[in-house]
A and B are shown apart, each in its own frame.
Chain A
Amino acid sequence: MLVTHLRLGAFSAALAVLAASSSGALAQKKYDTGASDTEIKVGNIMPYSGPASAYGVIGKTQDAYFKKINAEGGINGRKINFISYDDAYSPPKTVEQARKLVESDEVLVVFNPLGTPPNTAIQKYLNSKKVPQLFVATGATKWNDPKEFPWTIGWQPNYQSESQIYAKYILKNNPNAKIGILYQNDDYGKDYLKGFKDGLGAKAASMIVLEESYEVSQPTIDSHIVKLKSSGADVFFNITTPKFAAQAIKKNSEIGWKPLHFLNNVSSSIGSVMKPAGFENGQDIISSNYLKDPTDGQWKSDAGMKAWNEFLDKYYPEANRADLSVMYAYTVAQGLVHVLKACGDDLTRANVMKQAASIKDLELGGLLPGVKVNTSATDFAPISQLQLMRFKGDTWERFGEILSGDVGG
């Protein structure tokens, strides 16, 4: 009696185990090309050479970060195989590299390719192949368009929402401002300009007294600053990349022009803009950010910043810690790891997109306190919050609440 009972018990237990394991194998583990029990292939395209090669550091940081993840056991036991190619910021080359990643290397996702023109060039292709174009490294507004391009998702706050925040601030605090604008003559500069004008609305025409543009190949922008001063503007919106931003701040003080100065967050780095421009020249400039600036003293004992420093010490010691791109790359790589972890054993491209589009209040160590990553089926703009800040002494003082401005594509 007892024996049969035992046998029955053992048998049923075995059955249960078998059922559990087989259903586990059948129902849970699902793979698309590029994923297996042991690895996840992640493709990436960066300008390691060419005019935008300064951003190549993003790819290098991500590579280092995935090495760290792999050394710590990978994602649910799977190692990340990070394949990153150079496109020299030339769209035809981007297409070639994207096709190589998808058709030859067979990656699961194309992650964080950099630049608006390169991403535009591959968007249609990746969407027709149903390969996720995950967390693109550009602030253009058009990536938040899940209806038209369900396989493309952005990452950082877009340029237009940022400049709308400035516009709202001006309308509220300086309704009679005379605004002078300096912008870089490319997609980035024009996107900012458009957001700013949209933000000012009907008053844009009367408020903006002068728009000046410069080419990225110009050695200096001094003459533009002089012209802006003579236009009589009392508010200056500075849409420039770091080198030019530092020049502008310096020139402003040289010629004694003291407008209310708005600086786009692209150039808000203390290490590469404010310090070279001279702290005394940069007082009271208003900008905004969503990342913690590693060169800003206020984060010295911050937990997220400490973790970042530990990671760099161990895996990427030669990194330039004053470069905000390193922080950017670290944060977006964490975003990818979060999504892949959330996918569990269902590593299909569709599930990657599904998980990428259902991030709820994710906080990352590199983001400002209060800035959270949020996505949904209709919101493909993961980070859309910014905080205004004003330069005081040798640091940015954040003020006001965390602002969000989602602009659809």
Chain B
Amino acid sequence: MSAAAEDVVTEAPAVEAVPKRAMTLGLGTSLVVLAALVLAPLFVKNFIIFQMTMLLIYGLAVLALNILTGGSGQFSLGQSAFYAVGAYTSAILMEHFGMNYALTLPIAGIICFGFGFVFGQPALRLSGVYLALATFALAVAMPQLLKLNFFEHWTGGVQGLVVTKPDAPFGLSMSQDMWLYYFTLVIAIGIYIASVNLLKSRSGRAFMAIRDNEIAASAMGVDVALYKTLAFGVSAGITGVAGGLGAIAVQFVAPDSYTITLAISLFLGMVVGGVGWLPGSIVGSAFIIFVPNMAEHISKGLSGAVFGVLLFLVIFLVPHGARQVAIVAQQMLGKLTKR
């Protein structure tokens, strides 16, 4: 009986073993993507730049979830809570303490790391769907906590906080949007490289060992408790930085911005991008930003239903998300070059 239950909870659907090499893009492809991300803003309107900034920010949040789920095999539907804590940390430090926006980000990251690490402790006892539910509770509670009278002086309560958008420094003749985009891009690349290295390192191997087989991992001498909470902490920390950037880009934080819908969107982005495939994060992020707009374009009254159909098609046709598409594309490219 208990063995059967154990099976159900430890079996992690959609998270299959991903070899280390397959977690990243090749050097050539990475450079092409990087060049596209660097050059694109020079040719488009500010509005598109803003959308691209949001793309990177949600991409970071999806990446964070990917480390947690794809890396260490733990589920979380509570990422919106970490995102909210990061956003509020940045907003409060900027607006109430007049701190420079760039300095608030590491603080948001550290606070969220601590928050995630602490939350990871009780989460140790749970796995699979039970863990997903526990984190779900966190996501549901967060908007209400932000509304509490007790914090209202700092959080602005239900009215939220308006954040001032930073100008480009050093007298650069660049629009605020473009500056913020490049600022975000640098941070995103930094975090991406760090994440790749993390997963390739000893800790990363420990994460994956836990994901693949917890008992075997502990038999090998991996401190399961430590690495599980660590994965939570790292994931929360990155989400917090994304949240802080999001607050600066949107110029506003309010409890309604960080509801369970956001957590589900991020989860969706991870699945669509390919669980455990870090570059897929940005594809997943594009999905959660642009596909609702497309759905709305198709039918205003039924935008939710259209979105559902599109999502269903993606899951049905490419269950492993963007990773699958990338692998197929690579194989086809390989055939072409051989010929």
A residues in contact (CB < 8 Å) with B: 48-51, 56, 60, 84-86, 88-92, 95-96, 99-100, 102-104, 116-117, 120-121, 123-125, 185-187, 190, 215
Query: Is B203 at the interface (CB under 8 A from chain A)?
Result: no
* Segment at the A interface, from B13-21, B91-99, B158-166, B184-192: B158-166
Contact present for A92 and B246 (CB under 8 Å) = yes
Contact present for A91 and B257 (CB under 8 Å) = yes
A215 vs B158: C-alpha distance in the bound complex, in angstroms?
12
Given contacts A48-B303, A99-B50, contact A92 B257 (CB under 8 A): yes
Q: Which of B45, B157, B252 contacts A121, CB < 8 Å?
A: B252
**CB neighbours of A103 from chain B (8 A):** 45-47
Q: Which of B47, B162, B246 contacts A124, CB < 8 Å?
A: B162
Query: Is B296 at the interface (CB under 8 A from chain A)?
Result: yes
Query: Is B30 at the interface (CB under 8 A from chain A)?
Result: no
A95 vs B180: C-alpha distance in the bound complex, in angstroms?
15
Closest to A86 in B: B296
Contact present for B303 and A86 (CB under 8 Å) = yes
**CB neighbours of B252 from chain A (8 A):** 91-92, 95, 120-121, 124
Closest to A184 in B: B158
Closest to A104 in B: B47
A86 vs B51: C-alpha distance in the bound complex, in angstroms?
16
Query: Is B147 at the interface (CB under 8 A from chain A)?
Result: yes
Q: Which of B51, B54, B254, B301 contacts A91, CB < 8 Å?
A: B254
Given contacts A91-B254, A121-B250, contact A96 B160 (CB under 8 A): no
Query: Is B197 at the interface (CB under 8 A from chain A)?
Result: no
**CB neighbours of A85 from chain B (8 A):** 296
Contact present for A86 and B251 (CB under 8 Å) = no
A-B contact list, 16 entries, CB within 8 Å: A49-B304, A56-B301, A85-B296, A88-B261, A89-B256, A91-B250, A91-B256, A96-B54, A103-B46, A116-B159, A117-B159, A117-B256, A121-B252, A124-B252, A187-B159, A190-B158
Chain B 131-164 per-residue mask, 1 if CB under 8 angstroms from chain A, else 0: 0000000000000100100000000011110100
Q: Which of B48, B159, B250, B259 contacts A95, CB < 8 Å?
A: B250
Closest to B161 in A: A120
**CB neighbours of B144 from chain A (8 A):** 185, 215
Q: Which 8 A-B pairs have the closest CB atoms?
A: A103-B47, A187-B158, A121-B252, A117-B254, A117-B256, A99-B47, A91-B257, A92-B250
Q: Which of B249-302 contact A (CB under 8 A)?
A: 250-252, 254-257, 259, 261-262, 289, 292, 296, 300-301
Closest to A123 in B: B162
A122: min CB distance to chain B, Å: 8
**CB neighbours of A124 from chain B (8 A):** 162, 251-252
Contact present for A95 and B251 (CB under 8 Å) = yes
Contact present for A92 and B54 (CB under 8 Å) = yes
A347 vs B336: C-alpha distance in the bound complex, in angstroms?
58
- A49, A60, A99 pick with most chain B CB within 10 angstroms: A49
A51 vs B257: C-alpha distance in the bound complex, in angstroms?
12
B248: min CB distance to chain A, Å: 12
Contact present for A91 and B47 (CB under 8 Å) = no
A56 vs B303: C-alpha distance in the bound complex, in angstroms?
12
Contact present for B296 and A104 (CB under 8 Å) = no
Contact present for A117 and B160 (CB under 8 Å) = yes
Closest to A84 in B: B300
**CB neighbours of B50 from chain A (8 A):** 96, 99
A405: min CB distance to chain B, Å: 21
**CB neighbours of B51 from chain A (8 A):** 96
A184 vs B130: C-alpha distance in the bound complex, in angstroms?
31
> Beyond A91-B160, A91-B257: 7 further Cβ-contacts under 8 Å?
A60-B301, A95-B251, A100-B47, A102-B47, A104-B47, A104-B48, A187-B157
Given contacts A91-B256, A185-B147, contact A104 B261 (CB under 8 A): no
Contact present for B300 and A186 (CB under 8 Å) = no
Contact present for A125 and B300 (CB under 8 Å) = no
Given contacts A48-B296, A120-B159, contact A104 B254 (CB under 8 A): no
B95: min CB distance to chain A, Å: 12
A51 vs B256: C-alpha distance in the bound complex, in angstroms?
10
**CB neighbours of A90 from chain B (8 A):** 256-257, 259, 261-262
**CB neighbours of A84 from chain B (8 A):** 300
Contact present for A120 and B257 (CB under 8 Å) = no
A49 vs B293: C-alpha distance in the bound complex, in angstroms?
12
A79: min CB distance to chain B, Å: 19
Q: Which of A50, A91, A117, A185 contacts B261, CB < 8 Å?
A: A50
A94 vs B62: C-alpha distance in the bound complex, in angstroms?
21
Closest to B54 in A: A96
**CB neighbours of A190 from chain B (8 A):** 157-158
A56 vs B300: C-alpha distance in the bound complex, in angstroms?
10
**CB neighbours of A60 from chain B (8 A):** 301
B144: min CB distance to chain A, Å: 7
Q: Which of B296-339 contact A (CB under 8 A)?
A: 296, 300-301, 303-304
A117 vs B259: C-alpha distance in the bound complex, in angstroms?
13
B311: min CB distance to chain A, Å: 14
**CB neighbours of A51 from chain B (8 A):** 259
Contact present for B300 and A86 (CB under 8 Å) = yes
A281 vs B271: C-alpha distance in the bound complex, in angstroms?
51
Closest to A97 in B: B293
**CB neighbours of A89 from chain B (8 A):** 256
Contact present for A120 and B147 (CB under 8 Å) = no
